[in-house]
């Protein structure tokens, strides 16, 4: 795919990379008071405080000078994969260091295929664009939503499909892409529609979230169990709930030291059957991980997202949190202060660091590469 590129596109692309200022600086004091007659916006619309900004997304918005250290000198952001007819890049980004490959899945309407790109292809691509390849996965994978790495394999989180249960599945990242289901029930009960997972950096236990989007999107039965977060020990088979009280516990991530866990509650988005309820959470919660039990304690609001809902989460080695949101990737410090955005002007469900200086951002019909100074925490556990 992506083999036919027009000449005009090449010219625009070059100007864009070489010529354009990519950083917009925002002063939070400048929009603390707006004209009482408006316009105001709702959370479905992106916020662009610099009214006469003369840039076409993507670009960086700096809301706090500390974002400059994250961006480093001469940060860049560009499209590396695109197909405007097809939402091929939605969720579950996973980077495998050894091969420099990034795996991810496509949108639900296209059956959630899992695909791969090889970042080495960027070195030889004359256009700067590379191709993706859909993996020939088995029918064990019934609608993939989330994913992370586990002991050298992809760990896919599936929502289930109709009466078929949600599951955690290890998938060989190399041909023949064979798989092994490692969990698909809680003591005989089905989960609702599993969403996302991360492996704890010290204990190597798998933590995963469960939501009712399968039901709210019309492809799973009515809720069967509370929407909550679970811990699974793949060695002993022990599975238990570690946190509840959410509307839709979605993305999950651990701080680099493994002591803090973040959960994105995307409850404001009620699925295709329910629309949007702006009084429900679009909120990231932080918790301490209890040292003995790894239950979640000391729940607090970490950040309420200004545009859309928070979805996928990841951290850099300095403990800053990167959030897939309605306007791109938003970046917060460990105290919950918005530092800046990789502003796409469209939603991004998730992103993953591909080692130092490279943040790969999924935006359905495009994949972006942001080259910045930050480095991601090691997820290859």
Ligand X SMILES: *[C@@H]1O[C@H](CO)[C@@H](O)[C@H](O)[C@H]1NC(C)=O
How many other CB atoms are found less than 10 A from the CB of residue 334?
16
Which residue's C-beta sits nearest to ligand X? Answer: 1
Q: Choose between 37 and 300: whose C-beta lies nearer to ligand X.
A: 37
Q: Choose between 143 and 342: whose C-beta lies nearer to ligand X.
A: 143
Sheet holding 91-96, edge to edge: 91-96, 101-105, 114-118, 133-134
Q: Is 138 in the site for ligand X (CB under 6 A)?
A: no
Q: SS3 for 352-380, per residue? A: EECCEEEEEEEEECEEEEEEEEEEECCCC
Give the chain's end-to-end CA distance (angstroms, integer).
Answer: 32
**Residue choice 24, 92, 112, 198 for contact with ligand X (CB under 6 A):** 112
Q: Is 1 in the site for ligand X (CB under 6 A)?
A: yes
Q: Is 217 in the site for ligand X (CB under 6 A)?
A: no
Q: Is 134 in the site for ligand X (CB under 6 A)?
A: no
Closest-CA residue to 329 (of 238, 256, 264): 264
Q: Is 198 in the site for ligand X (CB under 6 A)?
A: no
Q: Choose between 21 and 124: whose C-beta lies nearer to ligand X.
A: 124
Q: Is the distance from CB of 135 to CB of 114 less than 8 angstroms?
A: yes
- Of 6-14, 79-87, 192-200, 322-330, the window that binds ligand X (rule: CB under 6 A) is 79-87
Q: Is 83 in the site for ligand X (CB under 6 A)?
A: yes
Q: Is 269 in the site for ligand X (CB under 6 A)?
A: no
Compute the residue count for the chain: 381
**Residue choice 21, 42, 52, 54 for contact with ligand X (CB under 6 A):** 42
Closest-CA residue to 314 (of 244, 278, 361, 246): 361
Closest-CA residue to 46 (of 70, 66, 26, 29): 26
Closest-CA residue to 211 (of 263, 267, 290): 267
**Residue choice 26, 91, 101, 153 for contact with ligand X (CB under 6 A):** 153
x/- track of binding to ligand X for residues 174-193 (CB under 6 A):
----xxx-------------
Q: What are residue 301's DSSP bridge partners?
A: 285
**Residue choice 20, 44, 127, 378 for contact with ligand X (CB under 6 A):** 44
Q: Choose between 130 and 359: whose C-beta lies nearer to ligand X.
A: 130
Helix, strand, coil share (%) of the chain residues, nearest 5: 10, 40, 50
Whole-number CA gyration radius for the chain: 20
Q: How far is the CB of 46 from ligand X (least distance, A)?
A: 11
Q: How far is the CB of 1 from ligand X (least distance, A)?
A: 3
Number of amino acids touching ligand X (CB under 6 A): 22
Residues 272-311 that bind ligand X (CB under 6 A): 276
Q: How far is the CB of 131 from ligand X (least distance, A)?
A: 7
Q: Choose between 276 and 380: whose C-beta lies nearer to ligand X.
A: 276
Q: Choose between 44 and 298: whose C-beta lies nearer to ligand X.
A: 44
Closest-CA residue to 322 (of 278, 365, 287, 353): 353
Structure tokens, 195: 């969403």
> Residue numbers of the site for ligand X (CB under 6 A)?
1-2, 42, 44-45, 83, 85-86, 111-112, 142-143, 153, 161-162, 170-172, 178-180, 276
């Amino acid at each position: 795919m992506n083999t036919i590129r027009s000449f005009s596109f090449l010219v625009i692309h070059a100007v864009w990379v070489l010529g354009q200022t990519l950083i917009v600086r925002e002063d939070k004091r400048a929009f603390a008071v707006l004209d009482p007659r408006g316009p105001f916006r709702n959370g479905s619309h992106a916020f662009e405080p610099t009214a006469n900004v003369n840039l076409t997304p993507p670009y960086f918005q700096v809301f706090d000078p500390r974002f400059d250290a994250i961006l480093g000198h001469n940060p860049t952001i560009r499209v590396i994969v695109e197909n405007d007819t097809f939402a091929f890049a939605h969720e579950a980004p996973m980077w495998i260091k050894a091969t420099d490959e990034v795996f991810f899945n496509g949108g639900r309407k296209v059956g959630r295929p899992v695909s791969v790109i090889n970042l080495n292809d960027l070195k030889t691509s004359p256009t700067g664009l590379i191709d993706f390849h859909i993996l020939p996965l088995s029918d064990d994978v019934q609608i993939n939503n989330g994913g992370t790495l586990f002991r050298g394999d992809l760990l896919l989180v599936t929502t289930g499909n109709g009466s078929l249960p949600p599951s955690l599945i290890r998938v060989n990242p190399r041909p023949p892409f064979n798989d092994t289901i490692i969990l698909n029930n809680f003591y005989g009960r089905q989960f609702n529609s599993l969403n996302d997972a991360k492996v704890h950096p010290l204990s190597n236990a798998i933590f995963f979230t469960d939501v009712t989007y399968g039901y709210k999107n019309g492809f799973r039965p009515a809720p069967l169990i509370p929407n909550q977060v679970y811990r699974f020990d793949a060695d002993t088979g022990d599975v238990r709930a570690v946190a509840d009280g959410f509307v839709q516990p979605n993305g999950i991530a651990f701080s680099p030291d493994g002591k803090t866990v973040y959960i994105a509650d995307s409850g404001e988005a009620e699925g295709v059957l329910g629309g949007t309820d702006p009084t429900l959470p679009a909120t990231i919660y932080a918790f301490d991980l209890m040292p003995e039990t790894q239950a979640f304690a000391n729940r607090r609001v970490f950040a309420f997202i200004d545009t859309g809902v928070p979805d996928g989460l990841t951290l850099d080695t300095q403990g800053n949190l990167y959030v897939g949101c309605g306007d791109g990737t938003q970046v917060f410090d460990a105290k919950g202060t918005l530092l800046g955005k990789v502003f796409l002007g469209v939603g991004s469900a998730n992103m993953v660091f591909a080692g130092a200086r490279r943040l790969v951002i999924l935006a359905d019909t495009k994949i972006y590469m942001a080259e910045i100074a930050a480095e991601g925490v090691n997820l290859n556990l």
